Chains A and B, each alone.
Chain A
Amino acid sequence: MTRQMTGARMVVQALKDQGVDTVFGYPGGAVLPIYDEIFQQNDIRHVLVRHEQGAVHAAEGYARSTGKPGVVLVTSGPGATNAVTGLTDALLDSIPLVVLSGQVPTFMIGTDGFQEADTVGITRPCTKHNWLVKDTEKLSETIHQAFHVATTGRPGPTLVDIPKDVQFAQGSYTPPAKSKTDHYQPTVKGDIDAITDLVELIETAERPIFYTGGGVINSGPGACQILRELVDGTGFPITSTLMGLGAYPATGDKWLGMLGMHGLYEANMAMHDCDLMINVGARFDDRITGRIDAFSPGSQKAHIDIDPSSINKVIHVDLPIVGDVGHVLEDLLRIWKSRGRKTNSDALKNWWKQIDAWKEVKCLTYRNSDKIIKPQYAVERLEALTRGKDRYVTTEVGQHQMWAAQFMGFDEPGRWMTSGGLGTMGYGLPASVGVQQAHPDALVINVAGDASWLMNMQEMGTAVQFRLPIKQFILNNERLGMVRQWQQLLHGERYSHSWSESLPDFVKLAEAFGCKGRLVKDPAELDDAIQEMLDYDGPFILDVLVEKHENCFPMIPSGEPHNKMLLGEVEATDAIQGAGATLV
């Protein structure tokens, strides 16, 4: 029996049938019928954000910390265009989202109506797929397809654009089980011959390394578990991209830390000198590879990825395996075990000896001060005072993001939410809102910079309204720190527009929003300030005044390979030259 209902009711029914408990959104003319349905039910909680970009980032935080798709509801025109940055962010970081947008009635499309925008046209390149639904009969099935596409294969954002007359009209509801998912069925099982080839390489490799990424986390907790078993079983060192932190525990003894532009010296040197690189769910991003033609020149490279277009896109690999990380690692572990769990243990011992020598460099060393708070010290103290708690960390984008990645350790997946691919300033605060919404009793901290934080600070209103006790840890250097660092290294210390004049008083700002704030500038008071933030039962802004011109090291300068890392200030002078200067 088919059930007749309005399109608006269908939207709510479809969300319920998809198991959605939370929607992040903002009402407007073209979604009023849907909001009317939301008003008349209690199964789905609607979190009213203050700006649609905030809604999408909040949904990203929700998705990354739960493994479930994040759901967003916005109106037509500006509602949809404000969602574009978040959609692009989710596309580049492979985060499953379903965004529902209102649209002017079908008979008005193309007339430049009030709040009309070509939403499917605008969002086509920043979604995995999108739909304009012109017929209520097709609405529920399309929403179910949107969930299917967003969550299967390489996850990503989808958008369903729903004209207002389609929301008012009656149609028959199609439940998820009866919805066609068409031909979109990505490959999840890897080729067994290729996996066996990789086992052979693992058995003989002298200087192997696992290089893992967000694909492991997207594949789920099971994949992370198998990865741990594989790493601990083989005894191979493991490094991870920014996106993959937590898949292997930072406390694990095979852990080398993050790799890449601001990654750890030992991780980058091991990548450069390895003879077998096993890329698991990462994509050879330019922040990782550095100079392409000098990238890990002596290694055989295997690449496990669910997206065939990731294979050979940037780096040519010797052994590609297309499939879901969890499935491939399961087969890999099984075959490796069945062949006797062999590794080249003598060579591995020497390899670890080399790695331990690189670790002795202690690349994260910085010169501390008892007069002014060093940003690294602030993050170290935050880590020390929160480690072991039920903790989730989001970040904005810039120096503070890299320091957080360097100095904080994550032992579980889904505990670290940061904008990696797109590098979206303004991501962290709304993301922390979404994370806290999903985990009301957990400690949720946004490690922020002053400039990034201002970009979506309106979401403090959301946090206060919904009693989300998010902790905003602002490393305030009154600068756009990373931009300033590049201007120092690359543009003759001409700090063009990279400082923040007339910053708000963050303590008063916290009070204005109805929460609490504190300013701290004395290193001796830092612990007490952090503790006050943690103990406070509500949203809190901690304004940490830090060294203004601190640089983030170590660093691979633009256009250089992994083994040309800069470890500190002395080496940094005139480090970036020639073609490297044109890279970002």
Chain B
Amino acid sequence: MSALKIKKGASRKSAYDLRDPNSEVIETHTLAVTVDNEAGVLARVIGLFSGRGYNIDSLTVAEVDHLGHTSRITIVTRGTPAVIEQIKAQLGRIVPVHDVHDLTVEGPSVERELALFKVHGTGNDRVEALRLADIFRANAVDSTLESFVFELTGTPDKIDAFAELMRPLGLVEMARTGVAALSRGKE
């Protein structure tokens, strides 16, 4: 190697950052993408992921600014650090994309997902389901003599855990929204 010296991350405007670029460790990142709310914008984002072989673990999208016609797309994705950087750079290239924030590296953030669970059962199972729902602070939003629909908000892990507990108690159907996330603090 030569004796040449370069400051790492010398260009602040680049996709380069200070983590080990050659790491093969698969990381999970939550990306918040602000886009113009126009026809086809979601297809552009999803097409980028499928076309370039990236993963989507979860995807949430809704208009967040009616006057400005912008939507927020929250994507949970997986990849090596180099792949994550590529994903962010490629997203930034899409013309109706305003900005891309990597909530996983930009400081602490809160992530929440909403899920609905239909649990079918009678007798002890039914009582147990209700007790667990109480522990998880899930709300029963519909009930019949033989079933409940629980509503639960929380991190994806919490929702996974609740689903596992409900499964032997008669879980018949489940709907999840995908992750919505915001950075913590006033910024």
Name A's B-contacting residues (CB within 8 A). 120-121, 124-125, 128-129, 132, 149, 182-184, 187, 190-191, 193-194, 197, 200-201, 204-207, 275-276, 298-300, 307-309, 311-313, 316-323
CB distance from B67 to the nearest CB of A (A): 15
Bound: A529/B5 CA distance, A: 57
Q: Is the CB of A194 within 8 A of B10?
A: yes
Report B102 CB to chain A, min CB distance, Å.
14
Contact: B15 with A308, CB < 8 Å? yes
On whether the beta carbons of B4 and A129 are closer than 8 Å, the reply is: no
Q: Which of B14, B44, B89 is close to A124, meaning CB atoms less than 8 Å apart?
A: B44
B119 to chain A, nearest CB (A): 40
Taking a contact as CB atoms under 8 Å apart, the answer to whether A313 and B6 are in contact is: no
Instruction: Give the 4 A-B CB pairs with smallest separation, nearest first.
Output: A309-B89, A275-B2, A194-B11, A320-B14
Chain B hits for A125, CB < 8 A: 47, 51
Complex CA gap A357/B90 in Å reads 42
In the bound complex, CA of A298 to CA of B3 (Å): 11
- A20–B58 CA distance with the chains assembled, in angstroms: 45
Contacts of B5 in A (CB 8 A): 200
Can you sample 9 A-B contacts with CB below 8 Å? A182-B36, A190-B13, A197-B6, A205-B4, A308-B14, A312-B85, A320-B11, A320-B15, A321-B11
The docked-state distance in angstroms from the alpha carbon of A132 to that of B90 is 23
Residues of A within 8 A of B11 (CB): 190-191, 193-194, 319-322
Interface residues in chain B, defined as those with a beta carbon under 8 Å from any beta carbon in chain A: 1-8, 10-16, 21-22, 36, 39-40, 43-44, 47, 51, 82, 85-86, 89-90, 92-96, 98
Please name the residue on chain A nearest to B13 by beta carbon: A322
Known: A149-B95, A298-B1, A312-B82. A319 touches B10 (CB 8 A): yes
Report A281 CB to chain B, min CB distance, Å: 15
Known: A205-B4, A309-B86, A309-B93. A120 touches B40 (CB 8 A): yes
CA distance A317 to B40 in the complex (A): 34
For B36, the chain A residues whose CB sits under 8 A away are 182
Q: How far is the CA of A205 from the CA of B2 in the complex (A)?
A: 8
Q: Across the interface, which residues of B come within 8 angstroms of A309, CB to CB?
A: 15, 86, 89-90, 92-93
A135–B86 alpha-carbon span in the complex (Å): 36
Closest-by-CB residue of B relative to A206 is: B2
Which residue from chain B places its CB closest to the CB of A347 in the assembled complex? B2
- Given A124-B40, A125-B47, A309-B15, check contact A197 B7 (CB 8 Å): yes
